[in-house]
Chain A
């Protein structure tokens, strides 16, 4: 019969082991992709067009496409998201409408990415006749990113102490003046962190762009928002499932580029968050 403290030590250790079971594969994934993909990374890879049925050459159009899509997403999702967050944090009262808005946000957050793809196809590609285009893809990704931005931005705004608003009002300031001069600037680091986190998610998504923008093989750069484009996530999917005889180094190299993009944005967001947390003025 094990003594209780022995049982406890055993228990704690097994928890630790389980935590390792969680952690090791993550490191394995990242490590493998880095190790096996790094050989493919060179300037040519990043800066030139694919050729030879994509078995040779670079992935420039995919990189550019992803960057453009991310930019487009930001242009739409940021104003709507931050505006919505300001409404919820500063203006909304606890009415049924407000609760409906919050429910809507929770639901938008839970909708599968492929359903967003269907929606984008139905509304932007077909109904608005944008065709498969950067425009359609960005709009679809933007709506998908909206809940993340609204939630984190609202949290950042609410974290600003209520006293600031009270003081501003007692000095003859209107609600918008308080937001503009005090609340928004103080919440900005948190808002920016949320935006970056949302955007990095959008950059890595494949399903929403499958039917709305992604091109299989387009060895030139897009010239207008109505153009199709390649994109990194879709490209990775294609070259790992649809192209026979694809050199694995290119597959890993593409995965590495995508992973590096996403992880570096993650690091930027984390750095911003911790840096400004230390410099808070309350």
Chain B
């Protein structure tokens, strides 16, 4: 689907076939899973996010994209409160999960992190076997029943599209897997806790194209059950997977909307410049 836009000089376009059902609108009357309201965030006196307001709908893939330093990773780490451990920060605004402010004083942070899972840019297997990795979260939460645990292992690995490759060697060390497999293991690890929101920070940046394709494939399964937020490692990937997209530039959310629309006919010139590759 190639369109030229009156605003651009060169018809340079991202050529991506749309997925079936990509960019479908949310159900009528559904509350967005995560709402971010007027969020500003300062780190060591410097603003890394300014006045961000957006919704993240459930059962869809929301893409946060933009050049480096735009605040995308920071925003994600605020959603699962991983930035709690960083000193010298200041925040205004709210983040709501199912309508509840996640920064309210009596919130159990550990419980929150089980509901909002995160996968990082480099595959980071924990020491131990494949099985140990997947079950790390559930065991921390106190799950002991062996039947439950083995069901969790299979379910999570299936959802991460890894089950068929490792089902016969669950006791092998996690480091014996290839890079792409390790990353899918990390996804399975997060899924084992049955989160409601899944945050993925450049999950395929260290992976070869085949592994990347497999991970993107699994995203399409995952969005049937979870609210998926992903920072892609390229604009092309963003266009491939987005149901919704938000463009971040230097801490400001410039534009957001329906995925295909943002990439083919962006409203803001800056978005268009980035999407067409004029900078980035």
Residues in A lying within 8 Å of B, measured CB to CB: 93, 163-164, 166-174, 177, 181-182, 185-186, 281-282
As a 0/1 sequence over residues 91 to 112 of chain B, the CB contacts with chain A under 8 angstroms (1 = contact) are 0000000000000000000110
- Sorted nearest first, the 5 A-B pairs with minimum C-beta distance are A171-B137, A172-B114, A281-B127, A170-B118, A172-B113
Contacts A172-B111, A181-B140; is A93 near B87 (CB within 8 Å)?
yes
Contacts A172-B193, A281-B175; is A167 near B140 (CB within 8 Å)?
no
How many angstroms from the CA of A186 to the CA of B87 in the assembled complex?
26
Residue in chain B with minimal CB distance to A173: B140
As a 0/1 sequence over residues 111 to 137 of chain B, the CB contacts with chain A under 8 angstroms (1 = contact) are 101100110101010111000000011
How many angstroms from the CA of A16 to the CA of B175 in the assembled complex?
44
Chain B nearest CB from A183 CB (Å) reads 10
Contact at B110–A168, with CB atoms within 8 Å? no
Could you say which of A93, A169, A181, A281 contacts B82, with CB atoms under 8 Å apart?
A169
User: Which residues of A have CB within 8 Å of B122?
Assistant: 163
Residues in B lying within 8 Å of A, measured CB to CB: 80, 82, 85, 87, 110-111, 113-114, 117-118, 120, 122, 124, 126-128, 136-137, 140-141, 173, 175, 186, 189-190, 193
Chain B nearest CB from A182 CB (Å) reads 6
Contact at A177–B87, with CB atoms within 8 Å? no
Excluding A171-B137, A172-B140, A181-B136, 6 further A-B contacts by CB distance (< 8 Å) are A164-B126, A170-B113, A170-B117, A170-B120, A181-B140, A182-B127
* Most A CB within 10 A of own CB, among B118, B124, B126: B126
Contact at A182–B126, with CB atoms within 8 Å? yes
Contact at A171–B113, with CB atoms within 8 Å? yes
Q: List 21 A-B contacts (CB under 8 A).
A: A93-B87, A163-B124, A164-B124, A167-B186, A169-B113, A170-B113, A170-B118, A170-B190, A171-B113, A171-B137, A172-B110, A172-B111, A172-B114, A173-B136, A173-B140, A174-B110, A177-B140, A186-B127, A281-B127, A281-B173, A281-B175
User: Which residues of A have CB within 8 Å of B186?
Assistant: 167
- A interface majority secondary structure: helix
Residue in chain A with minimal CB distance to B119: A170
Chain A nearest CB from B199 CB (Å) reads 9
How many angstroms from the CA of A122 to the CA of B247 in the assembled complex?
70
User: Which residues of B have CB within 8 Å of A177?
Assistant: 140
User: Which residues of A have CB within 8 Å of B127?
Assistant: 164, 182, 185-186, 281-282
How many angstroms from the CA of A185 to the CA of B113 in the assembled complex?
24
Residue in chain B with minimal CB distance to A164: B126
User: Which residues of A have CB within 8 Å of B126?
Assistant: 164, 167-168, 182
Chain A nearest CB from B183 CB (Å) reads 13
Contact at A171–B82, with CB atoms within 8 Å? no
Contact at A166–B114, with CB atoms within 8 Å? no
User: Which residues of B have CB within 8 Å of A182?
Assistant: 126-127
How many angstroms from the CA of A281 to the CA of B128 in the assembled complex?
8
User: Which residues of B have CB within 8 Å of A168?
Assistant: 126, 136, 140
Contact at B190–A171, with CB atoms within 8 Å? yes
User: Which residues of B have CB within 8 Å of A282?
Assistant: 127
Chain A nearest CB from B175 CB (Å) reads 6
Contact at A166–B82, with CB atoms within 8 Å? yes
How many angstroms from the CA of A120 to the CA of B126 in the assembled complex?
45
Could you say which of B85, B128, B173, B193 contacts A171, with CB atoms under 8 Å apart?
B193
